[in-house]
Structure 1
Amino acid sequence: MTLLRRSLLATALVSSLGLAHAADNANVPKGPLPRTVVPSLVSLELKLDPKQANFTGTTRIEANVAEATDMFWMHGRGLKISKAEAIVGDKRIALTATEADVSGVLKMQAVSKIPAGKAVIEIAYEAPFGELQGAYRVKPDGNDYVVTQMEPIGARNTFPSFDEPSFKQPWDITLIVPQDDVAVANSAETKTEKLADGWKKVTFARTEALPSYLVAFAVGPWDVPAGPDIAPNGSRTTPIKLRGVAAKGQGGRMKYSLEHTPEIVRALESWFGIPYPFDKLDNVAAPDFWAGAMENAGLIVYRDSLMFPDETSSVSQIQSYWGVSAHELAHQWFGDLVTMKWWDDLWLNEAFATWMGNKIHGQLRPEAHTDRGILEGAIGAMGADSLSSTRRIHEPINDFTQIQSAFDGITYQKGGAVLAMFERYVGEEAFQTGIRNYLKDHARGNATSADLIAAVAKQSNDPKAVDAAFKSFIDQPGVPFVKVAVECTGKPTLVVTQQRYLPLGSSASANATWGIPLSVRYADNGTVREEKGIVTGASSRFELKNATSCPTWVMPNAHGAGYYRFALEPKYQQALSTAFAQLDEREQRVYADSITSAYGAGQVTPKELLAALPQFTTAQVRQTVTAGMSAIGWMDEQLLTSEADRNAFRAKAAEIYRPRLDQLGLSPKQGEPDDDRLLRASLVNFFAGTLKDAQVRAEMGKQGRAVLGLGGDGKLNADAVPKDLRAVALGVAVQDGGKEAFDAAEKHFRASQDPTLRSQLLGAMGSTEDQALLDRARALVFEKGLLRRNEIFPIVGGQTEEASTRPALRQWVDSHFSELEARLAPAGAALVQLYAAGMCSNAEATDVESRFTDRMKSIEGGPLELKQTVEAVRLCAAQKDARKGMPLAFNK
C-alpha cells in the first residue's frame, strides 16, 4: 500500500502543482512538528460518494503563526492538492505543497512571508479512499459504505492537517453525500440541506477540542437504531442521545449492545466524578475494521461482531462486548478528554483504558472475573517483555514506523498491570483521587506521563518513592525477577535480590533494578499476614514487622498484584507448593507462572515442569488449570521425533487434564458459571487440537457436521453445537471431512453476513491439512469482493498450526507479500509472523531476517516486528538445543 500511495502522490503533484520530486531535506521533521504554525480551529468540508474511488475536500485551518515565515510543516499523504493558500486579512499568499517524506510530512512553501499572528490556511484537494485506514470503503452486502480509522496516522490520508496528538482544537465538519445515504460524525447533526444532482449537505455541531486521530465519520445506507437515552447522572442533568450505526438490515442486531451501553457510561461517570465529555454517543458496527474498536469522540467504531451479541451468544462474545465497550468508553475521558502530547505516551490512553475497562466490566459483570483477565494479560505481556528487543512502556518514538509498534502488549497489558499494581499499593481511594485530579487539571488539553505519575504519587504516603518506582516500570524494559530468601535469626526478614528475568538463550543483560512495590503474604503461627513496601537496589532486606515467628510459607506476590516474577529458596519454594490450596486464586496463578517461567529460564527441566502440572489442574481458576498447555504443545512438536513417542506423550498429557474435562462434560449445564464454559472450550480445543484425542475429535466432528448440514438436508444449523464450542467443532469437521465438508463450509460462508460465523467457517477451512483444499482457501483472499480485510488472518492463521501446512503458507506469503501488505496495512507487519510460525532454528531465523529486512523498513511497526520475530525464533532454537535428550516422563 505504501508504494501505491507514493505512485498516486507523484502523479498528483505533477498534474496539479508541476512538482515531480518530493523535497530532499535532511531537516524534515519525522517526529513532532515545530510549533511555528498552531491550529486553533479546523473546518472540514468533504464530498463523499461511497460508490466512487476518490473524494474531494476543502480544509480551512485557523491558526496562530509564532513568527514570520515563508515555510512551515504539516501532514498530508497521497493527496492531489489543487489549491493551497495562507490568508492574512484580505491578503492571499499562495502555498506550494510538497510531500517531503514517505510518512506524509508536507512542506508548505509560501511565495512570501506569512506574518506572525493569526492566519487561515485553505487547501482544496482530491484523495483516494484508503485501505482500512483514513477514510476507506467497505462493501459487505452489495452496498457501499465509508468508515474511518484515523489512528495513528490515517488522518493525513484523508485531509491535510497537523496530524499529531499535541495539536488539539475544535473541528467544524460538513459532509456532502448522496441524498439517500446516512452521514454521521463526531458531534450531533445540526442541519441538512438538499443540493442539486442528488446530493445533500450535512452540517455537524462544532466538536470539543480534539486531535486529528479522533476525528471520525461514516457514510452509506446505514441502519441507525435508537438506543435508550443515557439518563442524567450526578452533575450531568441532561440525557445523552445514544444510537447504533450498522450496515443495512443489521441494525436489529445491536439491541443488546445498545441496551447495556448506558450502564457502562454511568459507571464511568461515577468513578471519574466527571460527566461524559461529549454531546452524543454513536456506536458504529463496522463491517470491516482492522482494529477491535476505536475510541473516536462521540462516534466509537467497533468491529461489527462486538456489537452483535445477544443473551444466547457464546460467553467469549458477550464478554468481548462488555470488555471492549468499557475500554473504548473509558477512552472518552482518558485519551479524548485528556490526550497524550506525543505517541511515546500512548500508554496514558491504552494502558489506562485496559485497566479501567477491566475494572468497570468486572464491577458490572462480576461473573466475568476481569481481575483474572488483567493478570493473564500481564503474564502474556511478560513473554514479549522478556525479549532483548522489547520496548519500554514509555518508549521514545522518532519515526512513523515506530508508532504502530507502540500498539502492543507492552502498552496495553503491561501498562494496565503496572497501573493495577500501583493502585493496590497506593490504595483504591487515594489512586482514584489522583486520577480525578489529573483529568480535571488537563481537561480538553494534553498531558504527559510525568503529569499522571505526579498526580497519583501525591496521594501516597511517600510521593517521592512512589514517583521514582512508577517511573522505573515505565522508563525501562523488562520483567523484574525477585529472588527471596528467609532469615529468622532475629526478626523474620526476607532477603530480596532482583534482576531482569531472561529466558534461556537470551543475549540481554540481567543487570537492571526497579522500585518494586513488594507485597507479601505469609503464614505466622496459623495466621496469614500481609505486608508491603517498596524495595530498591540489587539486594535489600524486607523485615516482616508483624511476624511473631518464622513464617511457615511466604507468597512474595500477594494477590498476584505485582508485575514481577519470583523464585524462593528451595525450602520455601516447596513450602509454597504444599500451601497451594491456601493461596487465593490470583496467587495460585502467579505460583504457576513461577514454575513455567523457571522452565523458560532453564532452571526447571521438562520432567520437573510436567510433574507440576497435575497440581495446577486442581485450581478453581481456568487460567491456572491451563497454565502448562502451551509448554506441552511446544515439547510435543520440538522435542519429540518419533510418532510412537509422540503418541505416548500425548496419552500421558491427556491423563492430567481428562479428569477436569470429564467433570465438566462436553455439553454445557444449565446455570453453570461462565468460567466453566470457557474452561470447557479451552480443554476441548487442547484435546482436539494439540493432543489429537480420538474421542473428543469424534464428538466435535459429529457436531460440526451437523452445523454444516452434512448427512442431512445440507442446510446450515448454526445452533447444532454449543456456541462456545462451534469453532473447534467446525474445525474438526472440515479437517476430517475432506472436500465434502470444505465445500459445505464455503457454501455457508458465502451465504452468511454473520461476522462471527463467517470467521469460524473461514478458520475451519483454513485448518485442513489437505494441500489442494488449502490452495482453494488461500485463493479466497484474492477473490474480489469476497473477504473483508479483517477476514484474511482467519482463513490463513490455522495454517500455522501444523508443520505439514506451513511450507506452502510461507511460499504463499513470500510470493504475494506486496499484495497482502497493501490489503492489510497498517497491520501488514504481522505477515512476518505468519511466515515464521513454527520456526525454531538459527538458520530459519537468518532466513526470515534476510528475506524481510528490506520489506519491513517502511512498514508501520515493521522494523520492531521483524526484530522480535527473529529473536523469538533464535530463543526457540536455544531452548530446543538445551533440552535435547532430556526425559519427558510424567510423574504418576
Structure 2
Amino acid sequence: MTLLRRSLLATALVAAIGLAHAADNTDVPKGPLPRTVVPSLVQLELKLDPKQANFTGTTRIQAKVSEATDTIWMHGQGLKIAKAEAVLKGGKRIALTPSEADVSGVLKLAAASKIPAGDVTLEIAYEAPFGELQGAYRVKPDGKDYVITQMEPLGARHTFPSFDEPSFKQPWDITLIVPEGETAVANTAEAKTEKLPGGWKKVTFNRTEALPSYLVAFAVGPWDLQQGPDIGPNGARTTPIKLRGVAAQGQGPRMKYSLENTPVIVKALEDYFATPYPFDKLDNVAAPDFWAGAMENAGLIVYRDRLMFPDENSSVGERQGFWGTSSHELAHQWFGDLVTMRWWDDLWLNEAFATWMGNKIHGQLRPEAHTDRGLLEGAIGAMGADSLASTRRVHEPIKDFTDIQSAFDGITYQKGGAVLGMFERYVGEDQFRTGIRNYIKAHARGNATSSDLIASVAAQSNDAAAVDAAFKSFIDQPGVPFVTIDVECGAGKPTLVVNQQRYLPLGSTANASQTWGIPLSVRYSDNGTIREQKGIVTGASSRFELTQAQSCPAWVMPNAHGAGYYRFALAPKFQQSLSGAFAQLDDREQRVYADSVTSAYGAGKLKPSELLATLPQFANAPVRQTVTAGLGQVGWMDEFLLKNDAERAAFRKQVASIYRPRLEQLGLTPKQGEADDDRLLRTTLVNFFAGTLHDTAVRAELAKQGRMVLGLGGDGALHADAVSRDLRGVALAVAVEDGGADAFNAADKHFRASQDAVIRAQLLGAMGSAQDPKLVEKARAMVFEQGLLRRNEIFPVVGGQTEHPATRPALRQWVDTHFTELEARLAPAGAALVNLYSAGMCSDQDAADLEQRFGARMKTIEGGPLELKQTAEAVRLCAAQKQARTGMALFAKK
C-alpha cells in the first residue's frame, strides 16, 4: 500500500469530540500500548447512512486483564462516547470515563473501581463524523453518496474505539446497519441480512481471521457488485474462492479485465508460498476517491478506481498499473495480513516484501513487463533519498505518530525491496523461497519481526551468521554503500582491492565513514571467458580473490546482474575497460554502469561536460531505463547552469542531437504489435522533447493531436481516442499550454462532464500546465470549488505549476496564503504542501525560508517533521551543486 495520510489537528478536534482531556499526560503511552489489557475478540456494530454526516456504533471487546487496573489505554479520536463500561465475568458493570489523552488519539478509560485480573468485556457506544479519506469516509463521484474505509495506519481510531496498533491481532465480528436499498460489504462474506423497521437492514458478516485494526474494511452505498470468475481449486486449496468487483453505480462492467486476470495472480502466489489464500472470499473495490494506490485489507482490497478499469486497449502504463498493483496487494494477503508486523518500525516487512514479491509475480505472469528492470529503477531512485544526511533507516524506530507517515516512502518500499532481491540472489532463489515459506508457516495468524524473517532466510544459506549480520547492516543503518575497486594482478590469483564507505552527494554534511556486510557479486572477463563470483565483504578495506581466474581480467563488473544495493567506482583503467565492454554487459548491468557515471557526477567527481559526453552511449542502449539515464541531470543543467536564452537554445540543440535518432527510430505514432517497452520509451522521450527541450516540431505535432482530443476546430466534443492513450496526457498538456483560453476552457468543459478517472486526471494535468497567469489562477481556484474535485485530484491540477519557473512564485504565494484550508482539504496529505512550495528552490536562503515558513506548521502533521527536514536538505544540496558547477563548460570543445 502506498499512502498519504491526513494530519491530526488537535485544536479542531477538541470541541468536536465531547471528551474530557487528561490533565496530566506524562504517563500517556505515545508508542506501543501497555499489555495490561489484551483483546481476544472485537464485535463491531455500526449504523451508517452515507447521506448523513455522522454515524453511530457500538464496540464490544472481549479481553484479558493481566493484573488489576483502574486505567485502560486504547485508541479513539473524534468519537463522541455516550457510554463506556467494563463488564466482568459475573455480569458486574464498572463505569468507564473516557478522555482523549494525546493528539495522536490515545484514549484513556478511567474505571470507577479496580478491574480485576481475568476476563472482561468492554462495551462502548459512540457517535462519530465521517473522516477525510481516512477511517470511514464519504465520497460522491456521481451525485450519489458512498462510504469506503482506509484504516492504515491511524484511521481505525477515527471509526471505532480499539487497540489500534499492529500487535493487537484478533478476530472481528462486523455488523453493519444500513439503509435498505444500499449495498454493504466487509472483510468477510455476508452471513445473513435482516430487515429492520424504518427502512433499515442489518447485515452480519462471517467472523474474520485474526486481524489488526488497520486491516478492517467495509463499504456501503449504491455499489455495483460485479461477479468475477471463481478462483478455482489450487494445490492444498480444494474449495473455490468467490471473487467480486465493487464499483460505483454503472462502473461495474469496467472491471471485466481486472477480474478476469486476478485468479492467475492468486494462484501464482499460492504456489510461491505453498500456503492457500488465507481468507474466505476476495472483493476488489474500485474506490472513486482514494489517496493510496491501493490497500491490502484482508478479503476486501481497495484500489483507486482507475487501477481496476483498464482493458486490452489501455495504455501500457494503465495495464501494467493493474498487474503491478494487484500483485503487490495480493502478496500482502500473506505478508502483512496472514503474518503481520509487530510494530510500525517493521513496516518494511509488509511493504518492501510486497514490492519485491509483486514485481516477481507480475514479471512471471507478464514477462514483457520486465519488472526486474523496474525494481532496479526503483532502487536507484531510492538511492537519491538514501543519500541525504537526514534519510531514515529501513528498520527505523517509530517513537510517536508523526514518525509513522515517514515510513511510507521509497526507503521502505524500493530500498527494502532491492535489499530483499539482493539477498535472494546471494542465498539462491530456491533457498530464499524455502526461508520465506518457513517464516509464513511459523508466524501464520500472528505477528513477526525483522529478526524473524532474516533468521529464516539466513538459515538457508551456507553461512547463516554472516548473512544475518549483512542483512541487518542494510536495514538497521541508513545510506547507500559506495565501493571503490582496483585490481591487483601479478603473483597468485588476481585480487580485487575493495574499499567501502557511504556514498555522499556534493555538498553533503553526512559522515562517509560507514561500512556494511556487502554481498558482493562480480562478473569478469578471463581470457574471453565470462566468470562470476560472490562473497560477503566487510570492513573499510578488504581483498576479494578471483579464485577461478586464469589471467588478469580484461574487465570487471562489480555489481553482477545489477542485483546489489550499492554504488561503485573502478580504478580509472578498469572503469575505462568496463565502458569499452558495455555491449557485453546484460541489461541490468548496463543500467548500474550508467548509475555509476551519473552518481559520480552527483558526488562532484565528474564535470558536466564529462557526464554529457557519456550520454550517447546510454542513448543507444537496448533497454529504455538505460537510454533515459541522465535525463534528470540534463533537466537540472537546463534550469540552473545556463545564463540566458541563447545559451539555453544551444544547449538544447546539442542534447536533442543525442536523443533525436532514438525518437525518430520509434516515431511519434505507436506501431501495431510493437513492444510495450518501446511504447514507454516513446512516451518518456516525447515528454522530454516537449517539456525540457521545448522542441518546436514535437510540440507542434502534440498540440495538433491534443486539439483533436479536445474537439477544437471540429465538433467541440471530446474525442478521447484521437491520439494514442500512451501519449494523450502530454498531447493535452501541450495543447493547453500553447492553445490559451480556448484550449483551457475546452479541457475544463470536458473535465466537468466526465467520470473517467484517467481522462479527468489528464485534463486536470493539462489545465495545471497552462502558462497564462489568469488561466493558472483559474486552475488553482478549482481546488476550492465545492464538489468539483475528488480529493485525490488536487495535486494533478496544481502539480504542473511546479514544472515552470514562471508559475512557481504565484503557486508558492497561494500555498502560503491558503495553507490552513489546503491542509484540511488535502488531508491526509498535508506534508506534501512542502513539496509544492519548494519546487525549483536552489539556494541556502530558499532552504532557510522554507524552514521558517513551515517549521511550526509541520510539527503535528504526520510525516511533516522529516518531510521538511529532507526537503530543506535537498534544496541546500542543489545550491552546492549549482555553486560548484556555475561557469563550467557544458560540452567539451571539439
> TM-score, length-normalised on structure 1?
0.99
2:76 match: 76
Q: Distance in 2 between matches of 1:612 and 1:128?
A: 58
1:330 match: 331
Aligned AA for 2:676?
D
C-alpha change, 1:648 and 1:246, in structure 2 (3 Å) is same
Asked whether the equivalents of residues 492 and 543 of structure 1 are also in contact (C-alpha less than 8 Å), the reply is yes
Q: Distance in 1 between matches of 2:707 and 2:319?
A: 25
> Which structure 2 residues correspond to residues 402-481 of structure 1 after superposition, within 5 A?
402-481=403-482
2:134 match: 133
Q: Which moved more, 1:23-32 or 1:327-336?
A: 23-32
Q: Distance in 1 between matches of 2:364 and 2:532?
A: 25
Q: Among residues 12, 33, 36, which one is paired with 2:17 in the alignment?
A: 12
Q: Distance in 2 between matches of 1:571 and 1:193?
A: 79
Give the secondary structure class of the aligned counterpart of 1:723. coil
Deviation at 1:94, TM superposition (A): 0.2
Q: Distance in 2 between matches of 1:7 and 1:114?
A: 33
Q: Distance in 2 between matches of 1:826 and 1:250?
A: 26
Deviation at 1:596, TM superposition (A): 0.2
Aligned AA for 1:743?
N
Q: Distance in 2 between matches of 1:782 and 1:266?
A: 45
Q: Distance in 1 between matches of 2:826 and 2:152?
A: 15
2:353 match: 352
Q: Are positions 1:104 and 2:109 aligned together?
A: no
Output one character per residue of 1:473-518: Cα deviation in whole Å (capped at 9) or x when no partner. 0000000000000000221000000000000000000010000000
Q: Distance in 1 between matches of 2:633 and 2:9?
A: 43
Asked whether the equivalents of residues 17 and 77 of structure 2 are also in contact (C-alpha less than 8 Å), the reply is no
> Which structure 2 residues correspond to residues 591-740 of structure 1 after superposition, within 5 A?
591-740=593-742
Deviation at 1:820, TM superposition (A): 1.2
1:67 match: 67
Asked whether the equivalents of residues 7 and 830 of structure 2 are also in contact (C-alpha less than 8 Å), the reply is no
Deviation at 1:822, TM superposition (A): 1.3
> Which structure 2 residues correspond to residues 485-524 of structure 1 after superposition, within 5 A?
485-490=486-491, 491-524=493-526
Asked whether the equivalents of residues 7 and 828 of structure 2 are also in contact (C-alpha less than 8 Å), the reply is no
Deviation at 1:320, TM superposition (A): 0.5
Give the secondary structure class of the aligned counterpart of 1:311. coil
The two structures, once aligned, show a CA RMSD in angstroms of 0.9
Give the secondary structure class of the aligned counterpart of 1:56. strand
Deviating beyond 6 angstroms after TM superposition, the runs of 4 or more aligned structure 1 residues are none
Asked whether the equivalents of residues 813 and 831 of structure 1 are also in contact (C-alpha less than 8 Å), the reply is yes
Deviation at 1:757, TM superposition (A): 0.5
2:45 match: 45
Q: Distance in 2 between matches of 1:138 and 1:878?
A: 45
Q: Which moved more, 1:826-835 or 1:448-457?
A: 826-835
> Which structure 2 residues correspond to residues 102-501 of structure 1 after superposition, within 5 A?
102-490=103-491, 491-501=493-503
> Which structure 2 residues correspond to residues 740-779 of structure 1 after superposition, within 5 A?
740-779=742-781
Asked whether the equivalents of residues 165 and 341 of structure 1 are also in contact (C-alpha less than 8 Å), the reply is yes
Asked whether the equivalents of residues 640 and 882 of structure 2 are also in contact (C-alpha less than 8 Å), the reply is yes
Give the secondary structure class of the aligned counterpart of 1:225. strand
Q: Among residues 799, 808, 820, which one is paired with 1:818 in the alignment?
A: 820
Output one character per residue of 1:345-386: Cα deviation in whole Å (capped at 9) or x when no partner. 000000000000000000000000000000000000000000
Give the secondary structure class of the aligned counterpart of 1:692. coil
Q: Distance in 2 between matches of 1:675 and 1:140?
A: 34
Output one character per residue of 1:90-143: Cα deviation in whole Å (capped at 9) or x when no partner. 100000110000000011100000000000000000000000000000000000
Q: Distance in 1 between matches of 2:672 and 2:762?
A: 25
Q: Distance in 2 between matches of 1:173 and 1:598?
A: 56
Q: Distance in 2 between matches of 1:682 and 1:324?
A: 21
Asked whether the equivalents of residues 484 and 569 of structure 1 are also in contact (C-alpha less than 8 Å), the reply is yes
Asked whether the equivalents of residues 286 and 305 of structure 2 are also in contact (C-alpha less than 8 Å), the reply is yes
Asked whether the equivalents of residues 7 and 862 of structure 2 are also in contact (C-alpha less than 8 Å), the reply is no
1:572 match: 574
Structure 2 gap ranges (5+): 1-5
Deviation at 1:12, TM superposition (A): 3.5
Q: Are positions 1:55 and 2:55 aligned together?
A: yes
Deviation at 1:22, TM superposition (A): 3.6
Asked whether the equivalents of residues 425 and 563 of structure 2 are also in contact (C-alpha less than 8 Å), the reply is yes
Q: Distance in 2 between matches of 1:773 and 1:701?
A: 18
Structure 1 gap ranges (5+): none
Aligned AA for 1:860?
E
Q: Distance in 2 between matches of 1:584 and 1:493?
A: 23
Aligned AA for 1:530?
E
Aligned AA for 1:820?
L
Deviation at 1:8, TM superposition (A): 3.9
Output one character per residue of 1:415-438: Cα deviation in whole Å (capped at 9) or x when no partner. 000000000000000000000000
Q: Distance in 1 between matches of 2:839 and 2:154?
A: 29
Asked whether the equivalents of residues 611 and 891 of structure 1 are also in contact (C-alpha less than 8 Å), the reply is no
Asked whether the equivalents of residues 23 and 99 of structure 1 are also in contact (C-alpha less than 8 Å), the reply is no
Aligned AA for 1:872?
A
Give the secondary structure class of the aligned counterpart of 2:184. strand
Identity %: 79
Q: Distance in 2 between matches of 1:614 and 1:198?
A: 70
Q: Distance in 1 between matches of 2:561 and 2:23?
A: 57
Q: Distance in 1 between matches of 2:522 and 2:62?
A: 57
Q: Distance in 2 between matches of 1:23 and 1:446?
A: 34
Aligned AA for 1:394?
H
Asked whether the equivalents of residues 9 and 860 of structure 2 are also in contact (C-alpha less than 8 Å), the reply is no
Output one character per residue of 1:299-331: Cα deviation in whole Å (capped at 9) or x when no partner. 000000000000000000000000000000000
Q: Distance in 1 between matches of 2:417 and 2:508?
A: 26
Deviation at 1:640, TM superposition (A): 0.5
C-alpha change, 1:114 and 1:731, in structure 2 (3 Å) is same
C-alpha change, 1:774 and 1:220, in structure 2 (3 Å) is same
C-alpha change, 1:12 and 1:826, in structure 2 (3 Å) is closer
Q: Distance in 2 between matches of 1:461 and 1:801?
A: 51
2:804 match: 802
Asked whether the equivalents of residues 487 and 494 of structure 2 are also in contact (C-alpha less than 8 Å), the reply is yes
Q: Distance in 2 between matches of 1:56 and 1:259?
A: 38
Asked whether the equivalents of residues 8 and 862 of structure 2 are also in contact (C-alpha less than 8 Å), the reply is no
Q: Which moved more, 1:333-342 or 1:483-492?
A: 483-492
Q: Which moved more, 1:228-237 or 1:814-823?
A: 814-823
Q: Distance in 2 between matches of 1:825 and 1:438?
A: 37
Aligned AA for 1:555?
M
Asked whether the equivalents of residues 10 and 103 of structure 2 are also in contact (C-alpha less than 8 Å), the reply is no
Give the secondary structure class of the aligned counterpart of 1:194. strand
Aligned AA for 2:65?
V
Deviation at 1:27, TM superposition (A): 1.3
Deviation at 1:891, TM superposition (A): 6.8
Give the secondary structure class of the aligned counterpart of 1:103. coil
Give the secondary structure class of the aligned counterpart of 2:781. helix
Q: Which moved more, 1:263-272 or 1:22-31?
A: 22-31
> TM-score, length-normalised on structure 2?
0.99
1:850 match: 852
Deviation at 1:826, TM superposition (A): 2.1
Q: Distance in 2 between matches of 1:214 and 1:560?
A: 35
Q: Distance in 1 between matches of 2:219 and 2:893?
A: 60
Q: Distance in 2 between matches of 1:884 and 1:783?
A: 44
Aligned AA for 2:886?
K
Aligned AA for 1:674?
D
Aligned AA for 1:553?
W
Aligned AA for 1:879?
Q
Aligned residues: 887
Q: Distance in 1 between matches of 2:25 and 2:45?
A: 32
